[in-house]
A and B are shown apart, each in its own frame.
Chain A
Amino acid sequence: MINRSLSQQLDDLSKGEYSSVELTQTYLDRIENHQSLNAYVSISKDVLEKARQADQLRAAGERKPLLGIPLAHKDIFCEAGVRTTAGSKMLDNFISPYDSTVVSLLRNAGALSLGKTNMDEFAMGSSNESSYFGAVKNPWQVDRVPGGSSGGSAAAVAARLCAAATGTDTGGSIRQPAAFCGITGIKPTYGRVSRWGMIAYASSLDQAGPLATTAEDCALLLSAMAGADEKDSTSSAVQVEDYSKFLSQDLKGKKIGLCVEYMEGLDPEMSRVIEEAIEVLSKLGAEFMDISLPTSPLAIPAYYIIAPAECSANLSRYDGVRFGYRCENPENLEDLYKRSRSESFGQEVKNRIMVGAFALSAGYYDAYYKKAQQIRRLIKNDFLEAFKSVDAILGPTTPGPAFKIGANADEPQAMYLQDIYTISANLAGLPAISLPAGFIEDLPAGIQLIGNYFDEATLLNLGHQFQAQTDWHKKAPELST
C-alpha cells in the first residue's frame, strides 16, 4: 500500500482493500525502521486512535475528501497540544496552544497527522543542515541532502514514510526539496493558503503548500488547504477552485514560455532533462516559445535582503519571556533577552537576523531594503509581461541534483545560489510547481513550471498530463534498513 499514491489510497480505503488503521500502522513501522533518515522530529501519539475513528466514520457512510489518510506536517505548522519546534532549540519545548489553519483544514477534511517533519531552522536553509535536530538524509543517496527547508517532508514522501506532507516555501523550500527527492510539490500564489499558525520567517514571501508523489495528489490537498481566512489578513478572497476538476484537460494550444535567462549556462545534464520534458509536453499539444525575464539574475540579491529584513522583525518575538527557550540564571532583563536568543538560535538564523536589521537600519535602508523592493517590482513586471503571451514558464527547479551533506558548509554563497530558479516566484508572489523529470547521476532532477496569479489549476493540469506520459514520479528509492 505504500507505493499507492494518496488518491489511490483513498480509492483503496473506500473499497475496503485495507483500513486506515492498517495504513497508518504500516507507515508507523516504516518510520520506526528508517529513523536514520531523520525525516521526522516527532510522531503523533494518538494517530492510531484517530485512524480507528476514521475507519468507523467510513463504515458509517461518512465521506470526507481525505478521510483516514495519514499525512505528515512540516514542524513549522502549529498543532494544538503538540510540540512545534520549527527546527530550532528556541522552540524545542514549545507545545502549541492552538492549531494552524492548514492543520485544522486538513483535519476537517478527514486527514490524520502522523507526525511532524524535520526542517531547516525557522525555514532558513536549502539543505536541512541548519536544523537543531540534525541533517535529514536524502533517501536516494544517504550522503546527500534532501534539500530544504521542507527537507523532512520531501524525504518522508520519497521514502514512503507518508503519502504526502505539508511544506512551506519562502524562496524554494517546497520545490527544491521536491526536486532533490524526486517528488511533486507546489508553492501556491501568495495568499492562497492561510499563514495563520505557520511560524513566520519572511511574511511577504512565505506560503504553504503540499508535497506528494503526484500532481493529482497535490490538487486534492491544495483544494483542502486553500482559502480566505479571517485570521490571516493577507490571505486572498479569490474563489478557490476544485483543482482536481482541471487535471484531465488536454494541453492543445497551451503556451509555455522558456526563459532565455534560465536556459543560458544551464548544466548540460539539466538541459537534457528539460529538452526531454519539452518533447513530452509538445507531443501533448503544448506550444513553446522563448520569453525573457531580464531582471531574474537579481532575484537572489534582492531576496537575501528582503527575507532577512522580515526575519529580523519576525524573530524579535523570541525573547525568553512568554514561551520558548530561556537562559539559566539571567543577571538582568537584557541578559535574559540576549542569552536566551544567542544560546538557542543557530548561526544561519543569527546571520540573517543581523543582515536584516542592518538593511533596515538608518543610513542603509535606501541602499538595501528599498532597492531590493524596487528590484522586486521589476521582477514582477517581467512576469506580467511574459504572462501576456504564455500560460506557464518552464525551467529547471534547481541548478543540479542533490549535493553532498556538508558540501556547501563553508560556502554559504554556493548554498544561496541553489535557489536561483525558485526565488523569483516568491518575490513576485506567483504559483510554481516542481515535477520529477529524470535522473542525473542516479539522483532525481526536477522541472519547474511557474504560473500566473491564482492559476494553480493550469500548473496542476500540466503536471498531471506530464505524469500521465512519464513514470519519474513512480520511482522510489531502495532503502537499506
Chain B
Amino acid sequence: MDVTEEVVRNIAELVQLKVDDADIQQLTEGMQNILALADQMQAINTEGVEPVSNPLDASQKLRPDAVTEENQRELFQSIAPATESGLYLVPRVVE
C-alpha cells in the first residue's frame, strides 16, 4: 500500500497531530515502513476465521452500577496545566 501525502495529512488530522511540510516525508516513510511489513499478511487466506479481540477470549466483565470511588477532584486537578474554580481551562471555544 502506497501512503500518499493526502492520506498522511488526513490521518494526522484524525489523531490531532500537527504536521508541518517538513515532517510529511518522515511520517510518510514511518507509516510506509510499518505498512510494508503488514502487507505480508495478505499472503494468507483468513476467510471465515474468527478475529481475536481478547487473547483469553474473555468477554467484558460487568459490575453493579454503584459509586465505589471518592471524588478526588482537587488531587487530580493539582496536576493539570491550568484550572480555575474546579474547571479545566482551555482557550476560548465560543466567542
Known: A332-B91, A336-B91, A378-B44. A351 touches B52 (CB 8 A): no
Query: Which residues of A have CB within 8 Å of B88?
Result: 321-322
Query: Which residues of A have CB within 8 Å of B3?
Result: 358
Query: Main SS of the interface on chain A?
Result: helix
One digit per residue, 1 when the CB lies within 8 angstroms of any chain A CB and 0 when it does not, for chain B 34-69 equals 111111111110100111111110101101000000
The CA-CA distance from A351 to B38 in the complex, in Å, is 14
Known: A335-B91, A336-B91, A361-B11. A298 touches B41 (CB 8 A): yes
Contact A204 B7 (CB under 8 A): no
Contact B60 A336 (CB under 8 A): no
Pick the contact of B80: A305, A323, A348, A357 (CB < 8 A).
A323
Contact A298 B40 (CB under 8 A): yes
Binds B, one of A43-51, A276-284, A365-373: A365-373
Known: A191-B58, A351-B34, A354-B17. A301 touches B52 (CB 8 A): no
Binds B, one of A22-30, A100-108, A339-347: A339-347
Tell me if A429 is interfacial: C-beta within 8 Å of chain B: yes
Q: Considering only CB atoms, which chain A residue lies closest to B62 in the complex?
A: A233
Most B CB contacts (10 A, CB to CB) among A189, A297, A326, A377 go to A377
The CA-CA distance from A301 to B18 in the complex, in Å, is 27
Contact B53 A358 (CB under 8 A): no
Query: Which residues of B have CB within 8 Å of A372?
Result: 38, 41
Q: Considering only CB atoms, which chain A residue lies closest to B79 in the complex?
A: A323
Contact A375 B27 (CB under 8 A): no
Contact A351 B49 (CB under 8 A): no
Contact A97 B75 (CB under 8 A): yes
Tell me if A223 is interfacial: C-beta within 8 Å of chain B: no
Contact A304 B50 (CB under 8 A): no
Q: Considering only CB atoms, which chain A residue lies closest to B89 in the complex?
A: A321
Query: Which residues of B have CB within 8 Å of A61?
Result: none
Q: Considering only CB atoms, which chain A residue lies closest to B35 in the complex?
A: A355
Query: Which residues of B have CB within 8 Å of A60?
Result: none
> B residues within 8 Å of A by Cβ?
3, 7-8, 11-12, 14-19, 26-27, 30-31, 33-44, 46, 49-56, 58, 60-61, 63, 72, 75-76, 78-82, 88, 90-93
> A residues within 8 Å of B by Cβ?
93-95, 97, 189-191, 204-205, 230, 233-234, 236, 295, 297-298, 300-302, 304-305, 308, 312, 316, 319-324, 326, 330-339, 341-342, 345, 347-348, 350-355, 357-359, 361, 367-368, 370-378, 380, 412-413, 416, 426-429, 453
Query: What are 11 A-B interface contacts by the 8 Å CB criterion?
Result: A230-B63, A236-B58, A301-B40, A308-B34, A321-B80, A348-B30, A352-B34, A357-B14, A374-B46, A413-B33, A413-B37
